[in-house]
Structure 1
Amino acid sequence: MALFVMILRKMVQNRWLVVSLFLGMLISVALVSSMPIYSEAILSRMLVKELETMQTERNVYPGSYWSKIAFDNQTTEQRQAVLKGLDDYMRGPGASGFRLPVKELVQERNTRTFTIFPENATDDVKKNTKRTARFASLSGLQDHIKLTDGRMPAVQPVDGVYEVLVTESGLNNFRTVLDKVLDVEDAKIQGKIKVKPVGVFEKRVDDDPYFRDPSLGSFNSSLVVDAGLFDRQFTAAGIVPVSNAGWFIVLDYAKMELRLVEDFTKTSNEIQAAVKKRVSAYQVDFTVPALKTIDQYMERAKQLRTLMWSLNVPVLIMLGFYMFMVANLIASRQKNEIAVLRSRGAARWQIVVSFAVEGLLLSGLALAAGPPLGMLLTEVLGASNGFLSFVQRAALPVRLTQESYLYGAAAAAVAFVMLLIPVLLATRTTIVGHKQQMARLTKTPLWHKLFLDVVALALAIYGLYAFDARMKDLKKLGLRADDLKIDPLQFVVPALFIVGAGLLLLRLYPYLLRLIYAIGRKWWSPSMYATLIQVGRSNSQYQFLMVFLILTIATGVFSASAARTINNNTEDRIRYGNGADFVMKAEWPNDKPIESPGGMGGPPTTSATVAPQAIHYLEPSFEPYEKLPGVAQAAKVFMKDKASFTVGDQSGGATLIGIDTDDFGRAAWFRTGLLAHPLSDYLNLIAGDPKAVLISKTLATQKKVKTGDTIWVGWDGVTSQPFTVYGIIEYFPTFNPNPPIGSVNAGDAETQSNAPMLIVGHLPRIQFQLALEPYDVWIKMKPGYDLNAFYKGIEESHISLVSIRNTTTDWNKAKNDPFLLALNGILTLGFILSIVVSFVGFLLYWILSLRGRTLQNGIMRAVGLSVRHMIGMLVIEQLLTSGVAVLIGIIVGNMASRLYVPNFQIAFNPSTLVPPFRVLFEGMDFVRLYATVGVMLLAGLCILGYMVSRIRIHQALKLGED
């Protein structure tokens, strides 16, 4: 107990260091524990969104589970036992195993099919009015239907007649009317059964997920009876044998989370096993709409976790340096005490245990508070709409998980070990060795002796080489990013480069000091001499601070560049792929034969015996597009994907684009720098000659075509016409020159036989000499246009559109992708943490350093240096250490960004990365970074200057006597 009290007193005595160390531990644990929380939350949201899209587009309720069994030669008792057992199972572990709220559990029963006739029908009537039907029942049906005619049937036979419900289509199918009795006849049914439709029903709510078949088409041959009556008369008594039964479980998929996916798939398999155990496998059927989407998201979950680790590695390394720096400061301040204890007989393990208890207390508190803080960080990440951009968005379904505490425990354990490393090193020193070390502040650091900077840089350069080779393989083979094995080193190399480059520049730092000293040795003032001597002789004293500042600043620069690069390149890819702000396709009047549905399930037939060879179109007016509200420019763009061409003895297929050069140049979006000259120059090149065309570099390389050659262009049913090649371009709006996904032809993209090819010509000539066919309308909007007014203008102009594509909508959809959300959120968090931690570490180090030099500063004041000169020395010292470290951090961060930010394109399919990935720097991000660093240095100088001004000579000298 006494040892514990002593440890607490020591912690109180060094409270600022202990608080700073705890802060680093807490942030590390929170950051690491937020990874599983965030990945689960964001993927849960995206899974629900994907399921909602599935319901909207396919009209299938994704939160449903349908299992069906069929009977063969079982007896009535056997069928009843199977149904009862499965009813109990579905109501119990079957439905509850999904761990989602059960909205409906529908038990469906059907008898075997039989023949029905009008009551007491003659043989002639039976021959002409023969219809098939079956009895059916659904549990809870009355709560989900409304009667359009008639009444609800009785729950038991009335005078031997079964009253039933039918749909409107079923009533027509049976060719009868309500309240008319029908006879059931079948060789396998004993006795005579009579039925009477008494009511016509339809769904009470159109989008009610209760109904497995939203169209109610499965009821066209069904006579629906009360569920209780069905069980008594058909299931138990076997008057009409039960042919099949089904269980339709309707789950609230809006509550689906990633953690429940495993339970969903597991329960699905368990239900299938339970059903097959009671009925043979060939007599069962299962339908689970959500399983395919869920399987895809399990793969995305793995990719997202990998991506989160790769993004957080630089921040984690930075936090590790921070904790090691603080732990080293704690050990350094107590080295004298440790050396005295060792000289008086204390064992190393006893000293280490005292520090271990302190570390356990701090890491335990960090583990307790870290995951809840990580949950708060996740909520901040969920509100990110871009780098350092936040919006009001529905809260993510965040929760603390066992996995988050496991991650947090691992981070706390690493922090604990990092605390003990400097202590273990300090316990090796005796009192004599400690005094010797204090007199030799120029000791060479361990990383300097082992050349760890060179090793880190070598690994980083290897990682860059491996990534470039991988990207070339992916592009030339037309593969997806996950088709080749990912090298885990790819996610560490940016951090290795930052560390290696920073340490390498620090290796050269002493030579810079010597150069500065040599340049002005004849003119330096005494204060400048003193500062240069202090920094030069105590070089190792500043190493950790400088490395730490380099890491934090470089990480901030890297995070800012990575976020802006990925966001802007994704937006560029969408704009390039669409071509303009809006792309519209209108309905053109034509003479295409009208198709009529074939009879008796046959193929569709046309009104004409022989279809015409070509379809003739009537071009609608273009003027309404130009007059739509907010339109700055509209352009006609004709695209023919399967055009054929011949040049010399070469032929092939290409995409043909027809444009009006002036309108197209004003309406299309095209990134600068993609071509050797601006796109407008190429458009002007062909503007004067109607026969002029531009061709893609892939076409020119594969078919050995050069400018000035004549190329014949046409397509099926259209006679080829000659054009002249005026220019060769590598990129053009919407054109992707990369080989399609799935290609396995090796070689450069331009020389592959499957690389896409392009021909760009004049629309008037194509329409006049080839054919007049529908074109797209590309529209560029004015800044700040009103979207609602634009859509209203389309409606009022009576433009009949087949499709419309909104680039802004596509970009907003892309920003909600889990990968972009994770990228923006994590990089924003990394940037903010870098700034906060660097500020705290900077102040902590310099305040403690200045307190440790109180005697030295007091002596300088005693020999005549004024406060102004003391502050000047402090400023110079800051510039030579912190200032140089910040400058190196900026340089290293920029270099790391340019070299390694392109690695993030591995998260996309390389074949779709058009235009090419380019590293971007946003000026405002660096203004924020440099302003923050400037404020940090200025605040630190002010605090340190205040401390220097408060030094009392007599106190400093008294301290020296003590």
Structure 2
Amino acid sequence: MALFIMILRKMINNKWLELSLLFGLVLSVALASSMPIYTSAILQRLLIQEMQQLQLASNQYPGIYWLSASLSPDVQQKQSLLSDTEHFLKERENHFDIPVQTYVRERATQRYNLLPAEPDKVDINVQRSADISAIDGMEGHIKLVDGRLPEKEPVGGVYEALVAPEALTELGMVLNTVFVINDTTLKEPISVKPVGVFDRKDYTDIFWYNNTGSYKNSFLIDFDLFEKQFTAGGKLNVQSSYWYYALDYKAMTLASSDQFLYNDYDIQTFMDEHYENHNKNVPVLQTLTNYYVKERNLRQMLWSLNVPVMLMLAFYLYMVANLITERQKTEIAVLRSRGASRWQIIASYAVEGLVLGTIAFAVGPYLGALLTKLLGASSGFLEFVQRAKLETELNRDAFVYAWTAVSASIIMTLIPVVLATKVTIVGHKQQTARFLKKSFWHKFFLDIALIGISLYGLHNYKARVQDILSLGLKSADLRVDPLLFLIPALFILGFGLLVLRLYPWLMTFMYKIGKRWWPPTLYTTLIQVSRSIIQYQFIMVFLIITIATGLFSASATRTINQNTLDKIRYAAGADISMSIHWENDAPPAILFGAEESDEDSSSADLDSDTAETPAPRVQYSEPSFLPFTQIPEVEHAAKVFVRKDASITKGKTNAAVELMGIDTKAFGETAWMRDKLLDHHINEYLNLLAKNPSAVLISKSIAEDYNVKVGDTMNVGWPNVEPATFTVFGVIDYWPSWNPNPGAGDTVSVTTKEGTVTKVKKPMLVVGHLSYIQNNIALEPYEVWLKLKNQASSKAVYQAVADHGYEIESITDAKQEQIKAVKDPFQMAINGVMTLGFLISVVVCFFGFLLYWVLSLSARTLQYGIFRAMGVSVIQLIFMLIGEQVMVSGAAIGIGIMAGNMASYLFVPLFELSFDPSTQVPPFQVTFDPRDHERLYGIIAVMITFGLVLLGQIVSRIRIHQAVKLGED
């Protein structure tokens, strides 16, 4: 206990250093624990969004859990099995781990032929067949359209039933018509009479799995009556049973999703063991399968984004621990000389670490939860909005991460102590006298090794992206090397250490070239920095890492955000692109079959009859285009004709291409294209195209694969039309809305001397004049592209189009897609984590900078006292401090900016692997926002100014007699 009190007293004596170390520990623990909290919160939002999208896409409630089974004809076996099944399902109901909103049982007999009991009342020539069904509890969820509710017992031997409106038409009957089941296997005749027509009371009621149309061949009677007379009584063969759960999917969490899958497995096993034929419909299973893939990708992404910040915090902890150890090296050396073992000294410091670590473990996870809420409000990098808060929860993983961070941090802080205990009192005095020894990272060439590893990772990355683009693969088709997530941080550290290896030579060179002219203040500063460079390396490396990490975080986030938005705008071609219905003389699709109604089906194999009589060419009536140009919210509008199944013919060469027809002036005013994608500005290509009506631009894939050059002529057309002749005026790499990258499965067989070879087929594009195409080939529907005015409402545009009487067949709204992208959980994760990384970098940099220089100045009080005794004025001392700041902090900041920019240019494209490079058009481009640099430079200026003011005050308060007395002590 006495030893513990002594340790606490020592900590109090060094309270500012200990508080700084505690600050770093708490921040490290908070960051580590925020990762599982934030990941869980984002994944929870992702899970709910996925299921909501499922509901919109399939118009089916995502919480459906529906089972069906075919039953045995044996009545006793059937009744026993149904009882066991429903007991089992009732027991498993709580194992879904989410609330059950509705549980429905349904039974159905086999379908029987029906004969009217009174043939004169209905058409006897209609063939009728139906089953008798029952749904438990349906009475509270229906409304009567006609008639009345049936009795719960047979009336005069007749079973009264409800029918769906569709059943009246399907079975050709009216209410109160009695039908007799015509089946020779029945022991006694069964009669049924429809007495009421029902519909769902509420079409949003999740009680209903099926719509009423699915009961068009059913008579629905009371469930208890069905069970008594048919299931238990065996009067009719009960062929099928259905069980349906409606689960509250919005209450599903990460933990309950796992439990849901376990429960589903148990239910599936039970059904497999007890029923030969059974089925189920659980839409959320596919969603969960995709969800777990996204979960893995998101966790990888978050780890990759946090690595630089983790490295920076680790270095901060090491630097502070090293400062504490440096101040206590004399004490450690004295203890060693008086018989204390190394492990006793290390144990005493470990106790200090445990005290601080316990506090950090108690505070850090809760601070991590607060940081998570901050991340949830991030709509962009350093941009915060009011939005629905993330559902944060301190889970078990958060405390596991916190404990791991505490353990790693304590070990990190003990490293300087372990190194210090190796030194005796004599060795310590020798080290204090001079600082010319090489640092361990330079001695063992860690800087070269780190840069080598990072460059290997960069090469590996480039090779992977090239494979994806050239082979038409998806990013998921290649295994992502975890090393690729570490290399930006390794490069930043390695580059900083490499520059610091060269920095002493620069200082020595500056000292030698001007030693005859340097003023005393600068002369002294150069000697101090060049001779004590090892002493300054920690603060310099720390500043390099923090500044570079901040810039890298800013650039990575801006790049990912901007490339996501550019991809959306490029794919749409303009702010809004839509297809409008054109009146035409096309025959009903049923005449040619569903497979022939698609325009793309023209390339499919046709049978002999169809080949002899091709479908006639459809004639279209073009609607007026003028109203689109007069919509108040629209700035420009353009006609864009796109035919994906066109083909080109040049000599014996024939190739499938995509044909685009445009009006050059309107297209240039409306379409969006990122700068520098083409060799020249897009308007120059449009001006080139405008010179000749038959002029076309072709993609580079056509030029390379078929040796087509500028000035060549070729024929272009599509099925069922006469091709026209065009002249090539230019070659392009990209064009609005066109993806030049091959997709998965885009291959073609090529016959060579060695045999048939499968090659990747590159997409091909031809761009020509719309008017020439319409006049010389055919008039067919084109797309309408719109460029909106600033702050224009998409909803107002839709309404204006509808008001003019146009029927929109398809639409792509880039603005709405961009809004959706900003709300995407992955985008939120990137923005949130990068914003947090930037803010932590700034805060830690500020505290680390002040702490180091205040302690460094305190340690050199004697030196500055001697300077003052020698006649150096306070102003001269302050100029010496400014010079030292410029050579140390200023140089480190400059190196950090250089390292951050280089890391961004080299490694930010790494995050393209987290997306699909084959669909990332335009290509991934590193983006810098000047505002981020301005913020960072502003913070640096405030930090250095505040530091200089504080250091100047400390220097001005130094008293010569105190400094001399301190030296005597």
TM bucket normalised to smaller: over 0.9
Structure 2 letter corresponding to 1:366? A
**Residue 672 of structure 1: aligned partner:** 675
**Residue 22 of structure 1: aligned partner:** 22
**Residue 497 of structure 1: aligned partner:** 491
Structure 2 letter corresponding to 1:738? N
Whole-Å Cα distance in 1 between the matches of residues 327 and 747 of structure 2? 63
Matched, 1:634 2:655: no
**Residue 957 of structure 1: aligned partner:** 964
**Residue 154 of structure 2: aligned partner:** 157
Deviation at 1:743, TM superposition (A): 4.3
Deviation at 1:792, TM superposition (A): 2.9
How many residues align? The count is: 950
User: Contact 1:629 / 1:789 at 8 angstroms: preserved in 2?
Assistant: no
User: Contact 2:472 / 2:745 at 8 angstroms: preserved in 1?
Assistant: yes
Deviation at 1:611, TM superposition (A): 7.5
User: Contact 1:477 / 1:745 at 8 angstroms: preserved in 2?
Assistant: no
**Residue 117 of structure 2: aligned partner:** 119
Matched, 1:50 2:32: no
Whole-Å Cα distance in 1 between the matches of residues 766 and 127 of structure 2? 63
Equivalent of 2:900 in 893, 897, 900: 893
**Residue 62 of structure 1: aligned partner:** 62
Deviation at 1:507, TM superposition (A): 0.6
**Residue 381 of structure 1: aligned partner:** 375
**Residue 731 of structure 1: aligned partner:** 734
Whole-Å Cα distance in 2 between the matches of residues 916 and 616 of structure 1? 40
User: Contact 1:477 / 1:746 at 8 angstroms: preserved in 2?
Assistant: no
Structure 1 letter corresponding to 2:39? S
User: Contact 1:587 / 1:801 at 8 angstroms: preserved in 2?
Assistant: yes
Moved more, 737-746 or 18-27: 737-746
Moved more, 764-773 or 729-738: 729-738
Equivalent of 2:649 in 638, 642, 646: 646
Deviation at 1:539, TM superposition (A): 1.1
Structure 2 letter corresponding to 1:51? M
Structure 1 letter corresponding to 2:261? T
Deviation at 1:285, TM superposition (A): 1.0
Matched, 1:879 2:875: no
**Residue 106 of structure 1: aligned partner:** 104
Matched, 1:699 2:702: yes
Matched, 1:189 2:172: no
**Residue 662 of structure 2: aligned partner:** 659
User: Contact 1:70 / 1:284 at 8 angstroms: preserved in 2?
Assistant: yes
Structure 2 letter corresponding to 1:470? R
Equivalent of 1:457 in 451, 459, 462: 451
- Identity across matched positions, percent: 49
User: Contact 1:697 / 1:729 at 8 angstroms: preserved in 2?
Assistant: yes
Structure 1 letter corresponding to 2:328? Q
1:843-854 matches, within 5 Å, as: 843-854=850-861
The one-character-per-residue Cα deviations of 1:534-562 (angstroms, maximum 9, x if unpaired) are 22222111111100000000011111111
CA distance 1:176–1:739, change in 2 (3 Å): closer
Moved more, 572-581 or 362-371: 362-371
Deviation at 1:181, TM superposition (A): 3.7
Q: Unpaired segments of 5 or more residues in structure 2? A: 599-609, 751-757
Whole-Å Cα distance in 2 between the matches of residues 663 and 820 of structure 1? 34
User: Contact 1:117 / 1:126 at 8 angstroms: preserved in 2?
Assistant: no
The one-character-per-residue Cα deviations of 1:363-412 (angstroms, maximum 9, x if unpaired) are 22222322222222222222221111122221222222222222222221
Structure 1 letter corresponding to 2:635? A
Deviation at 1:127, TM superposition (A): 5.7
CA distance 1:629–1:393, change in 2 (3 Å): same
**Residue 753 of structure 2: aligned partner:** none
1:567-578 matches, within 5 Å, as: 567-578=561-572
Structure 1 letter corresponding to 2:298? L
Deviation at 1:172, TM superposition (A): 3.7
Matched, 1:783 2:790: yes
Deviation at 1:573, TM superposition (A): 1.4
The one-character-per-residue Cα deviations of 1:275-321 (angstroms, maximum 9, x if unpaired) are 222223xx211111111121111111111111111111111111110
CA distance 1:912–1:746, change in 2 (3 Å): farther
**Residue 553 of structure 1: aligned partner:** 547
**Residue 690 of structure 2: aligned partner:** 687
Give SS of 1:433's match: helix
CA distance 1:235–1:73, change in 2 (3 Å): closer
Give SS of 1:100's match: coil
Matched, 1:420 2:417: no
CA distance 1:342–1:602, change in 2 (3 Å): closer
CA distance 1:222–1:649, change in 2 (3 Å): closer
User: Contact 1:41 / 1:258 at 8 angstroms: preserved in 2?
Assistant: no
Deviation at 1:610, TM superposition (A): 7.6
User: Contact 1:477 / 1:744 at 8 angstroms: preserved in 2?
Assistant: no
TM-score, with structure 2 as normaliser = 0.94
Matched, 1:919 2:926: yes
The one-character-per-residue Cα deviations of 1:481-504 (angstroms, maximum 9, x if unpaired) are 121222221111111110110000
**Residue 935 of structure 2: aligned partner:** 928
1:475-874 matches, within 5 Å, as: 475-595=469-589, 613-743=616-746, 754-874=761-881
Structure 2 letter corresponding to 1:269? Y
Equivalent of 1:227 in 216, 223, 226: 223
Give SS of 2:780's match: coil
User: Contact 1:550 / 1:886 at 8 angstroms: preserved in 2?
Assistant: yes
Give SS of 2:191's match: strand
Give SS of 2:475's match: coil
Moved more, 371-380 or 802-811: 371-380
Give SS of 1:559's match: helix
Q: Unpaired segments of 5 or more residues in structure 1? A: none
Whole-Å Cα distance in 2 between the matches of residues 476 and 130 of structure 1? 61
Structure 1 letter corresponding to 2:878? I
Whole-Å Cα distance in 2 between the matches of residues 379 and 584 of structure 1? 39
User: Contact 2:122 / 2:173 at 8 angstroms: preserved in 1?
Assistant: no
CA distance 1:420–1:146, change in 2 (3 Å): same
Structure 2 letter corresponding to 1:52? Q
Whole-Å Cα distance in 2 between the matches of residues 409 and 113 of structure 1? 65
1:468-479 matches, within 5 Å, as: 468-479=462-473
**Residue 350 of structure 2: aligned partner:** 356
Whole-Å Cα distance in 2 between the matches of residues 336 and 42 of structure 1? 50
**Residue 11 of structure 1: aligned partner:** 11
User: Contact 2:141 / 2:200 at 8 angstroms: preserved in 1?
Assistant: yes
The one-character-per-residue Cα deviations of 1:820-863 (angstroms, maximum 9, x if unpaired) are 22221111111111111111111111111111122222222222
Matched, 1:262 2:265: no
Equivalent of 1:321 in 315, 336, 341: 315
Deviation at 1:219, TM superposition (A): 1.6
Moved more, 525-534 or 589-598: 589-598
User: Contact 1:597 / 1:604 at 8 angstroms: preserved in 2?
Assistant: no
Deviation at 1:228, TM superposition (A): 2.2
Whole-Å Cα distance in 1 between the matches of residues 434 and 748 of structure 2? 64
Whole-Å Cα distance in 1 between the matches of residues 562 and 818 of structure 2? 10
Give SS of 1:718's match: coil
TM-score, with structure 1 as normaliser = 0.95
The one-character-per-residue Cα deviations of 1:688-715 (angstroms, maximum 9, x if unpaired) are 2111111111100100011111111111
Equivalent of 1:134 in 131, 136, 152: 131
Matched, 1:308 2:302: yes
Moved more, 128-137 or 706-715: 128-137
CA distance 1:449–1:309, change in 2 (3 Å): same
CA distance 1:415–1:792, change in 2 (3 Å): same
1:195-214 matches, within 5 Å, as: 195-213=192-210
Moved more, 34-43 or 169-178: 169-178
User: Contact 2:580 / 2:809 at 8 angstroms: preserved in 1?
Assistant: yes
User: Contact 2:116 / 2:124 at 8 angstroms: preserved in 1?
Assistant: no
Whole-Å Cα distance in 2 between the matches of residues 532 and 950 of structure 1? 24
Structure 2 letter corresponding to 1:816? K
Kindly report the root-mean-square deviation, in angstroms, between the aligned alpha carbons of the 2 structures. 2.4
